[in-house]
Structure 1
Amino acid sequence: MSAFGRKNGIGGMSAGARPSFGVARPMKGGAAAEGPAAKAPVPGGEQFPPIPGGMSAGGMPPSGGVPEKADAMSRLQDRANNVVEGQAKIEGFEASVHKIKEQVLPRLLERVDPEAAATLSKEELSEEFRPIIMEVLAELKVTLNRREQFALEKVLIDELLGFGPLEELLNDPDVSDIMVNGPDQTYIEKKGKLTIAPIRFRDEQHLFQIAQRIVNQVGRRVDQTTPLADARLKDGSRVNVIVPPLSLRGTAISIRKFSEKPITLDMLEGFGSMSKKMCTALKIAGACRMNVVISGGTGSGKTTMLNALSKMIDPGERVLTIEDAAELR
């Protein structure tokens, strides 16, 4: 027998011998088989237990295919299909919540004073909203489970107190840039990759209201007479707003988010952004009050470098900054 269970010829084997691989066969020509006390031969292969899993001798499946590779690929494909189905369920859940929000919000605004609501915290507003939302849902004959109800409350509160659809992007720590080009198109930069965000504004008026809410927080305004404004969010994110007629495709909003953890020169060296010698030279320049000019293109890291360099300033020094929009942290 060969390693693949092919016979090399039974006749060449010694008496009483048996194949080393494959199905065992009854002995032929052996001296023990010719005596009167010889036992009846056991049918071929039945003296061994069956091979599990439908595998033949030699480890190959009966059909001659690859034994486990096909099963492994099938399991991987099933797992991928389950992930896609899970994502589809999440997207379907979010879509249903937003669809209900479009029905509930107009009726909710009829019962709520937006100016009074602005004086409440999100927790207080949630407590005030809950019975009103249930009343509106009863009028619309819509039944929600607890998960959907909490999601609807959050979306409605974000519409009245927050920045609407932008809230979920602002709360995502992996998103570094948000670029809104009109109500139907929003791009985000996430982990260095630019993708289209799964959010939409109701219309241009809805987007314009969100833009006004952003700039009003820093005492600025944006309209046709002042179509360009810069602002800063509470978390330090930098915002630029452009509205018509300066913007040709409707209101445009650009938000540059900064890391919650302050970046230092040592961290930039660790990232590979500069050499060790360059890091040492910048530390000396920052600590010794040298004149330094930081320049570069959009998104090149000017603000990050400025903030890292400013960490070397003596805490006892008085620092004066002249900024259009506050960026130094």
Structure 2
Amino acid sequence: MSLSELVSDVAAFRNYMLSERGMADNTVQAYGRDLERYAKWAALVKFEEYLKPALKDLARYVGFLHDEKLAPPSIARHLVSLKMFYRFLRMEERADAATVDLLGSPKLWERVPEVLPPTAVEALITAPQAGDRFFLRDRAMLETLYATGCRASEVVNLKLVDVYLDAAFLKCVGKGSKQRVVPLGRPALAALRAYISGASAEGGRSPTGGADVVFVSKTGRPLTRIHLWALVKKYCKRAGLPSTVSPHTMRHSFATHLLSGGADLRSVQEMLGHASIQTTQIYTHIDRDRLKAIHRQFHPKGQNPPDGPAPGGEKPAAQ
């Protein structure tokens, strides 16, 4: 195999994404730039067996990206681009499923400190156990972080009136007081329902002392961003995850996993709150059903229930 074939395969992949997948030109260009860097590395190290890379080969490539001084989120995006590329090669019967699986290997993703593989995210979310003092609250907070990609400040300031469990979404107030709609998957919905209606002895929200935010302390006071950071660190230690993991790691992981699954950049941008969305424009500029469909299709924990009232009431969140 020659490296000229790699260049040819990258060109074929770009054409496939643009003409057959109908992806936006800027998205195709972003994937193309990432893969051109991969081809540059392959030529530099004379890596000609690119159709059957081993884990050590991919790890060497991640090391090269580190040496290029790329930020962890950028390195994660390069791996997402590579996974999409090898899925294409598998479809063309030029690569096998084992290569695609390698690109989802936890050992490989551990080299990108600000992004966790789905298995590590699951270990963190399930770290709070029944019997813990604030089991229901902490599980719901972690589920919400990953399900929505919200910032730490957005999660601790989340209000009950902005949580629509029956419709499977929440309204989030981000930077500059900009408001956006973010879908909720089934696990997050279940965790939030259990917490909001749960007994205080199990870490449930009732009684609350009158606070209007979702996540509160035992006395009903709102939690702070520092509290959330401390909780993530606590459960990372329990789950055996790196101490560098933070709430923002969950946000990076949320976006990376959506893109890895095939979500388009514009939809992810909307869910992250990077678009200029004013409070009065929520229902005119954002198609909630479209975002819910994107979230349900591509997010690892995004299997939403059918539309309609939730069991036990139209809106469990107290007004």
Provide the TM-score with structure 1 as the length reference: 0.25
Q: 1 or 2, which has the higher strand percentage? A: 1
Determine which structure has more spread, i.e. the larger CA radius of gyration. Answer: 1
Provide the TM-score with structure 2 as the length reference: 0.26
